[in-house]
């Protein structure tokens, strides 16, 4: 039996969270409502999650002594971002259960390993190829065709570490600009819409999925999410089934997001998986106000060894990210009927920085 199956917290116990951003902040707030304490570990002294917990550790992820002291103060450890250094996870896992498990990070931190994992499950994905030199890139393009998307295998998010390659582009320059020797080339997918499934899985194998969410990106950053997605129920069921298959294959404990594309196939619309996020996810923020239980509470319940909730959506929901200077309009949102404003307590607004979000619940259409 693994450590994950032995975790059973009680009210008053402490959860350690790696990362001090808005996701860590909202996880800590969800835990507090359930009578659980949280301690944040983050190298950033301005971490907004520090504002909502009594105890926090501000230290580098490579600081072994700080990690050991942090582990001694908590009962279980989780994380708000998937790029936790492998050495950090190893140090902590030797002392306390880390959920989701370290081996899941090894799969999802590397795009090539993740794609191989998804393909072995028989789940549809875009064609892809491993690329570690400009010569390999040219060969991959000859096989996959253009347009295509090149991405670093690690550490990319919100459009960072990737580029679209089109006919006529200088392939050598594209490779140099990516500034890596470890990349993956993916076929460009002419999708109809982008969707995601937020799924929670407990240590005993129970899986609960939220309604499929439809996502709209601007400048590679999520701007608007709508639930439910405007897709046929059969396709939504397929998407939820894919998320459940992935969570079960990973022996996952906690909340994960599976991002997908809806494309037209010969037999009608179908879904292709884009990527897995082993954590609570921006496209699930609507659940804070739009469902009977939020993704954050589900994650806390799962890693605490508590029963998962059955998510019930309150009505059609829209989540709008407040990015950069959008935060300056927060007062206008406060007067919108049915809207709930969430501000993250971050410092100065910067272009591309997520400063908050707004959820709006609309009357049900009968």
Reply yes or no on whether the pLDDT at 48 is more than 50.
yes
CB atoms within 10 A of CB 21: 18
Share of the chain above pLDDT 90, in %: 91
Range 87-93 average pLDDT: 95
Q: Which of 325, 326, 296 is nearest to 311 (CA)?
A: 296
The partner residues of 361 in beta bridges, in order of sequence, read 317
Reply yes or no on whether the pLDDT at 158 is more than 90.
no
Q: What is the pLDDT of residues 346-358, one digit of tens each?
A: 999 999 999 999 9
- In the structure, what pLDDT confidence band is assigned to residue 4 with cuts at 50, 70 and 90? very low
250-274 per-residue burial string, b: 16 or more CB within 10 A, e: under 16: bbbbbbbbbbbbbbeeeeeebbbbb
Q: Which of 245, 244, 242, 247 is nearest to 260 (CA)?
A: 242
Q: What is the pTM of this model?
A: 0.95
Q: Which of 293, 301, 107 is nearest to 203 (CA)?
A: 301
- In the structure, what pLDDT confidence band is assigned to residue 172 with cuts at 50, 70 and 90? very high
pLDDT, residue 266, reads 85
pLDDT, residue 210, reads 98
Reply yes or no on whether the pLDDT at 141 is more than 50.
yes
- Following CA atoms 90, 154, 354, 252 in sequence, which dihedral angle do they give, to the nearest 10 degrees? -50
**Secondary structure (H, E, C), the chain:** CCHHHHCCCCCCCEEEEECCCHHHHHHHHHHHHCCCEEEEEECCCCCHHHHHCCEEEECCCCCHHHHHHHHHCCCEEEECCCCCCHHHHHHHHCCCCECCCHHHHHHHCCHHHHHHHHHHCCCCECCEEEECCHHHHHHHHHHHCCCEEEEECCCCCCCCCEEEECCCCCHHHHHHHHCCCCEEEEECCCCCEEEEEEEEECCCCCEEECCCEEEEEECCEEEEEEECCCCCHHHHHHHHHHHHHHHHHCCCCEEEEEEEEEEEECCEEEEEEEEEECCCCHHHCCHHHHECCCHHHHHHHHHHCCCCCCCCECCCEEEEEEEHHHHHHHHHHHCCCCEEEEECCCCCCCCCCEEEEEEEECCCCC
CA triple 51-305-11, angle to 5 deg: 50
pLDDT, residue 265, reads 85
Rounded distance, CA 250 to CA 244, Å? 10
Reply yes or no on whether the pLDDT at 159 is more than 80.
no
pLDDT, residue 156, reads 65
Range 317-321 average pLDDT: 98
pLDDT, residue 282, reads 98
Reply yes or no on whether the pLDDT at 44 is more than 50.
yes
The partner residues of 269 in beta bridges, in order of sequence, read 264
Reply yes or no on whether the pLDDT at 164 is more than 90.
yes
Rounded distance, CA 215 to CA 7, Å? 34
Rounded distance, CA 72 to CA 76, Å? 10
Among 170-174, 315-319, 361-365, the minimum mean pLDDT is found in: 361-365
Reply yes or no on whether the pLDDT at 2 is more than 70.
no
Report the mean per-residue pLDDT for the chain.
95
CB atoms within 10 A of CB 333: 19
Share of the chain above pLDDT 70, in %: 97
Reply yes or no on whether the pLDDT at 122 is more than 90.
yes
Among 2-6, 23-27, 216-220, the range with the most confident prediction by mean pLDDT is 23-27
């Amino acid at each position: 039996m693994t450590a994950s199956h032995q975790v059973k917290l009680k009210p008053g116990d402490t959860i350690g969270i790696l990362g001090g951003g808005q996701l860590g902040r909202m996880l800590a707030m969800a835990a507090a409502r359930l009578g659980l304490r949280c301690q944040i570990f983050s190298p950033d002294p301005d971490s907004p999650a520090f504002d909502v917990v009594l105890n926090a550790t501000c230290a580098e992820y490579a600081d072994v002594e700080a990690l050991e002291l942090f582990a001694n103060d908590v009962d279980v450890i989780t994380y708000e971002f998937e790029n936790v250094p492998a050495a950090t996870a190893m140090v902590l896992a030797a002392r306390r259960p880390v959920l989701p498990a370290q081996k899941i990070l090894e799969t999802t931190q590397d795009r090539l390993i993740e794609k191989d994992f998804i393909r072995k499950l028989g789940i549809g994905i875009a064609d892809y190829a491993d690329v570690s030199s400009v010569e390999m890139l040219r060969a991959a393009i000859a096989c996959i065709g253009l347009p295509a998307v090149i991405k670093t295998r690690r550490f990319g998010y919100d459009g960072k570490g990737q580029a679209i390659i089109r006919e006529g582009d200088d392939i050598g320059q594209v490779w140099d600009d990516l500034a890596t020797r470890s990349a993956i080339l993916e076929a460009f997918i002419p999708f109809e819409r982008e969707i995601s499934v937020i799924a929670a899985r407990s240590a005993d194998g129970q899986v609960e999925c939220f309604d499929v969410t439809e996502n709209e990106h601007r400048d590679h950053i999520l701007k608007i999410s709508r639930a439910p997605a405007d897709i046929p129920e059969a396709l939504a069921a397929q998407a939820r089934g894919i998320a459940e298959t992935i969570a079960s294959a990973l022996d996952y404990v906690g909340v994960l997001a599976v991002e997908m594309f809806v494309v037209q196939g010969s037999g009608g619309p179908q879904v292709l998986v884009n990527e897995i996020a082993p954590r609570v996810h921006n496209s699930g923020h609507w659940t804070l106000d739009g469902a009977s239980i939020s993704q954050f509470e589900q994650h806390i319940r799962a890693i605490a060894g508590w029963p998962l909730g059955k998510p019930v959506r309150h009505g059609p929901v829209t989540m709008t990210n407040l990015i950069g200077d959008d935060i300056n309009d927060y007062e206008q949102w406060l007067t919108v009927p049915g809207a709930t404003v969430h501000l993250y307590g971050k410092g100065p607004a910067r272009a591309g920085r997520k400063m908050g979000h707004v959820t709006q619940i609309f009357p049900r259409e009968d």
